[in-house]
Amino acid sequence: MRRWLTEALAGTLALYLAWSPALAAEDAPDPLLAKPMADLKKTVESSDSEIDRILAAEAIGKLLNPPAPPKKGPAPVAVRSLTAAERKLALEAAGVGIGDSSCAVRHYSRKALTALDAEAVPVLRAALADVQIDKLQAACLALYDMGKRRSKTDPLPAGVVEVVPGLVQALQHDSYVVREAAAMACRGLGLAAAPALPQIIELLEDEEFSVANAAVYAVAAANPLGEKSVPVLVKALDSEHDLREFICVEFGEMGQDARSAVPALAKLVSADRNNWHAGNAACKALMKIVAFKLRDAEGNPVEDRAAAVRPIAIAAIVDGALNHETEFCRWNCYNSLFLDSNVHCPFGDEIRPLIPKVLADLREYMAMTPTKWWPPRKETCDLAVRIARTDPKQREKIVALIKELLKDDKTEKGGVLELEKMLKALEG
């Protein structure tokens, strides 16, 4: 880490020294963008000047991936289109640049390879067989960038599966820098990295925290449906590294596919004393697992696959909201029950211990003049309506309270509107 920071600071200083004469003319076109690609390639490959190599590598990246026009302000200087021959030269230059001694040159060369996409796959496959640590790291990070720049539905570059054997070897490298970058690459490749899943799982117990942390995301990405990833991530909750918060985030992203993790997450809500963020993440993950939209993006009904574990999740959150030793954590638990209106989460008897608090909050918030952040009046009203729809007896109690508050002179004007919406929702 110290070596990396030293290189990063040196690269930043070099860039500043190179750019400082042009700071007053920020909008002026970069003269390097007009240079022939062959000259830029030669500079990256053979110049003795680190500054020149950095600027040439950056120019190649700009030519391959022109900046998008800003929403406001002047448009960026137009960049020329590259011919097939120029793209080939750029590929060769970037392939050399990812092995440069300068971290800034490696950075810009990696970005160039990311922009070249499928054209860069053979170069990256060859780089993964290299012995140079910096080059291995840069190649892995380029693969990570290729995956992360896409949406979940966009296909990966053609032939990208050919790099997986190289990643398997990188995951077992002696250098933790390479292992971490390889885990990040697997995260970016997602399902395509499934053949490397056994090696990724081993990294959950790596001695380096950064490697184990990267492995959490890689395991979930390589097996998003959870049949293999959920059990190993549940086990990793007890890792000597405190990975709980990051694992909870991934369980939440899996949604109902992570329902087998609910018992472990439920224990984490109130048992956690040393990491408030982990307990908060566990609450959010539980709600993402047991709450769901009734219809998917295509309008098809969504099956409620978490019905069996929902009582466990809600009971744990309710207990945390009422009994956690820390007020901050009690509020986080309570707050996790506030859901978007298009999300379905039927409550059972497990919500009953929380009802007195919900009703007390409802009474208190209606008399308050709201600010931008407080009180959470709308969210509390929505929670009360959800409870009322679950339990007919509680419905009668909540309707009676609404009518009482509507007659109360202390109820604020905005509160009256919220109460009327509640009444319409329950009596309509």
Per DSSP bridges, beta strands 343-344 and 292-293 are antiparallel
Dihedrals phi, psi of 301, to nearest 5 degrees = -60, 140
Rounded Cα distance between 99 and 130, Å, is 10
Rounded percentage of the chain residues whose pLDDT exceeds 90: 55
pLDDT over 60 (residue 4): no
pLDDT recorded at residue 248: 93
Render pLDDT for 170-209 as a digit per residue (tens, 0 to 9): 999 999 999 999 999 999 999 999 999 999 999 999 999 9
Instruction: Parse the chain into domains and list their residue ranges.
Output: 1-67+81-127, 254-346, 349-428
- pLDDT tens for each residue of 302-353: 888 999 999 999 999 999 999 888 888 888 899 999 988 788 888 989 999 9
78 falls in which pLDDT band (50, 70, 90)? low
pLDDT beyond 90 at 128: yes
Q: What integer is the mean pLDDT of 296-300? A: 83
Query: Comparing 427 with 6, which gets the higher pLDDT?
Result: 427
- Looking at the chain, the whole-number percentage of residues with pLDDT higher than 70 is 88
